[in-house]
Chain A
Amino acid sequence: MKAPGNREPTTEPGPPEQIKAVPVRHPGQWVAAGIVAIVLVAVIKSIATNGNFQWNVVGDYLFDQRVLDGVVVTLELTVLAMAIGISGGVLLAVMRLSTNRLISTSSWTYIWLFRGTPVLVQILLWYNIAALYPSLDLGIPFGPAFVHLDANSLITKFVAATVALGLNEAAYMSEIVRAGMISVDEGQTEAAKALGMTRGQTLRRIVLPQAMRVIIPPTGNETISMLKFTSLASVIALPELLYSVQLIYSQSYQVIPLLIVASIWYLAITSVLSVGQYYLERYYGRGSSRDQPPPSLFEQLRSGWAARHVDPETLGLGREGR
């Protein structure tokens, strides 16, 4: 580089001139958007005009008591199975990270077994567990039993489905939790130790809250998956959402509209769950970004509305280069 001469720092008087440039045109995007628009119109027209959809039947059954009962069972199954899955997952993850070989290996084996077999098969196995263990005894291992339970009456369809889905989920959740725990910097554990916290306190107060940021998004996905996997319980004739509509259409033969009823409910619930996930992520993301936490959906909608309805100049936003 040439050595520059004596240079005076120069300061322009007044505010800098704002850039007003012609934006780059994207003709390819316009063509693609046109094609998408045409396809969209065709699909909407077909949905609206194809009589086989029988939208009036969908409307009749959407809030039918039997369907609503099915929705309740589906929700109960999802919540209980996820509760088993998450608590089991945390337990398995802690076991997996144990220094005791037997403990960590048994966790590994559990995951291998439950991840390696189809959950549909697991549901059928649990439903038929009475064939394997006709009675369940509670008592001292290899010693006397205090409580004697009949497996057939204990393992109802609902219990079988909940246990099967929950234990299967625990295997997946443990990997998610473990990844979260590993992601926490080792210095955090050291600092907690140096302050005199026990291992349990360190796990609960320091490691898990930070791992949550990594754990929450995939757990949200798992919950949404779980909601849909509960439909597998229809094979053991548990009247959750799918089996409830199957029961109706097996008599009325209105297969398509009733499957649409079920789909609408599944979609509605997953949408609600997604919103919940958003807020959970926001909560556990605190302190993780240099900026303030991202605005909530509601705040985004409100500010979006404000930007459209208030002159940007008055807000000092100056959007769209006006």
Chain B
Amino acid sequence: MTDTVLKAENVHKSYGRLEVLKGISMEVNKGEVFCLLGPSGSGKSTFLRCINHIEKINAGRIWVDGDLIGYRQIGDKLHEQRDSEIVACRAEIGMVFQRFNLFPHMTAIENVMLAQRIVLGRKSGEARKKATELLERVGLADKVDEYPNRLSGGQAQRVAIARALAMDPKLMLFDEVTSALDPELVKDVLDVMRELASEGMTMIVVTHEIGFARDVADQVVFIDAGVIVEQGTPKQVIDQPREERTKKFLGQVLEH
């Protein structure tokens, strides 16, 4: 039994004629933090969305915790999974979005409780206890009963992280979670993510925060035009990039 959490093999994804992913392969082990860097439109976010099957891939395979995502292999034929099977896979993968996507008609704690109750079938009291603990942990004990539109971006994003953690995920996906935040709010969110990484959560983080990637990542993956250009430790990729495209990108990002 290996402790590979994510295995992606030659993943391709096209929208019509536009090919966004041209063969991405990746292996993430338990407790590792992968940071995906790259220019906008390079396919990083699309890859993240393929992992929990929000986007269907056109070729290749993705396994999370040993389970093939989106399909069942019977003999040499692939069968699309039923809604109920996909749903079971997704529940084990937490995802946090750039634009938070909190449910605006529910308070912070209701946001964190809902899926625990209706997906995992936890009792209301148990879900409330877990939600309260998580909201305390992300520093929002006093915002439990606020509606999302009365929270700042940084607070909303931390609620969104708590909401994903409430499902006890095996893997957390972060999709440019600080890109929509005011600069002074970015730190609070990154601190929560740092803590999470230090506790051994397996994380795949699409980000433009080079500093965060340098400090936290086990592996940094530079993606451009749908392919992995360079992969390695932060020291290798950020401090001594070998590829021309990586150097150019880092130069542009680090300039300001």
A interface residues (Cβ-Cβ under 8 A, vs B): 185, 187-188, 190-199, 201, 205-206, 209-210, 284, 286-290
Q: Is B84 an interface residue (CB 8 A)?
A: yes
Could you list 18 examples of A-B contacts with CB < 8 Å? A187-B99, A188-B101, A191-B160, A193-B54, A193-B90, A194-B52, A194-B54, A194-B95, A195-B114, A196-B87, A196-B88, A196-B91, A196-B167, A201-B119, A206-B103, A209-B105, A210-B105, A287-B104
Cβ-closest chain B residue relative to A191: B101
Q: Which residues from chain B contact A205 at a C-beta distance below 8 Å?
A: 114, 118
Flag if B118 contacts A201 (CB, 8 Å). yes
Cβ-closest chain A residue relative to B94: A194
Interface residues of B in 74-133 (CB under 8 A from A): 83-84, 87-88, 90-95, 97, 99, 101-107, 114-115, 118-119
**B91 is contacted by which of A190, A195, A206 (Cβ under 8 Å)?**
A195
**B105 is contacted by which of A193, A197, A201, A286 (Cβ under 8 Å)?**
A286
Q: Is B72 an interface residue (CB 8 A)?
A: no
Flag if B103 contacts A191 (CB, 8 Å). yes
Flag if A290 contacts B149 (CB, 8 Å). yes
**B76–chain A nearest beta-carbon distance, Å:** 28
Q: Which residues from chain B contact A198 at a C-beta distance below 8 Å?
A: 83-84, 87
* Given known A-B contacts A191-B97, A196-B88, A289 and B118 have beta carbons under 8 A apart: no
Expressed in whole angstroms, the Cα–Cα distance for A289 and B148 within the complex equals 10
Flag if A188 contacts B87 (CB, 8 Å). no
Q: Which residues from chain B contact A194 at a C-beta distance below 8 Å?
A: 52, 54, 90, 93-95, 97, 164
Q: Which residues from chain A contact B119 at a C-beta distance below 8 Å?
A: 195-197, 201
Q: Which residues from chain B contact A289 at a C-beta distance below 8 Å?
A: 149
Flag if B149 contacts A287 (CB, 8 Å). yes
Interface of A is mostly: helix
Flag if A290 contacts B150 (CB, 8 Å). yes
Flag if B83 contacts A199 (CB, 8 Å). yes
Q: Which residues from chain B contact A192 at a C-beta distance below 8 Å?
A: 103, 115
Q: Which residues from chain B contact A193 at a C-beta distance below 8 Å?
A: 52, 54, 90
B interface residues (Cβ-Cβ under 8 A, vs A): 52, 54, 83-84, 87-88, 90-95, 97, 99, 101-107, 114-115, 118-119, 147-150, 160, 163-164, 167
Q: Which residues from chain A contact B164 at a C-beta distance below 8 Å?
A: 194-195
Cβ-closest chain A residue relative to B116: A195
Flag if B84 contacts A187 (CB, 8 Å). no
**B251–chain A nearest beta-carbon distance, Å:** 33
Cβ-closest chain B residue relative to A187: B101
Q: Which residues from chain B contact A197 at a C-beta distance below 8 Å?
A: 87, 115, 118-119
**A19–chain B nearest beta-carbon distance, Å:** 31
Expressed in whole angstroms, the Cα–Cα distance for A196 and B120 within the complex equals 9
Flag if A190 contacts B149 (CB, 8 Å). no
Q: Top 5 closest A-B pairs, CB basis?
A: A196-B91, A191-B101, A287-B147, A195-B115, A194-B95
Expressed in whole angstroms, the Cα–Cα distance for A185 and B104 within the complex equals 11
Given contacts A288-B104, A290-B150, 20 further A-B contacts (CB under 8 A): A185-B101, A187-B99, A191-B102, A194-B54, A195-B119, A195-B163, A195-B167, A196-B87, A196-B88, A196-B91, A196-B167, A197-B87, A197-B118, A197-B119, A198-B83, A199-B83, A201-B118, A206-B103, A210-B103, A286-B105
**A62–chain B nearest beta-carbon distance, Å:** 43
Q: Which residues from chain A contact B114 at a C-beta distance below 8 Å?
A: 195, 205
Flag if A190 contacts B54 (CB, 8 Å). yes
Q: Which residues from chain A contact B106 at a C-beta distance below 8 Å?
A: 287
**B101 is contacted by which of A190, A201, A290 (Cβ under 8 Å)?**
A190
Flag if A190 contacts B97 (CB, 8 Å). yes
**A119–chain B nearest beta-carbon distance, Å:** 34
**B116–chain A nearest beta-carbon distance, Å:** 9
Q: Which of B95, B101, B148 has the most CB of A within 10 A?
A: B101
Cβ-closest chain A residue relative to B148: A287
Q: Which residues from chain A contact B88 at a C-beta distance below 8 Å?
A: 196
Expressed in whole angstroms, the Cα–Cα distance for A143 and B239 within the complex equals 77
Expressed in whole angstroms, the Cα–Cα distance for A192 and B94 within the complex equals 11
Expressed in whole angstroms, the Cα–Cα distance for A284 and B104 within the complex equals 11
Q: Which residues from chain B contact A201 at a C-beta distance below 8 Å?
A: 118-119
Cβ-closest chain B residue relative to A292: B150
Q: Which residues from chain B contact A286 at a C-beta distance below 8 Å?
A: 105, 147
Cβ-closest chain A residue relative to B114: A205
Cβ-closest chain A residue relative to B88: A196
**A52–chain B nearest beta-carbon distance, Å:** 54
Flag if A210 contacts B104 (CB, 8 Å). yes
Q: Which residues from chain A contact B84 at a C-beta distance below 8 Å?
A: 198
**A43–chain B nearest beta-carbon distance, Å:** 46
Expressed in whole angstroms, the Cα–Cα distance for A206 and B103 within the complex equals 7
Expressed in whole angstroms, the Cα–Cα distance for A195 and B162 within the complex equals 12
Expressed in whole angstroms, the Cα–Cα distance for A201 and B90 within the complex equals 14
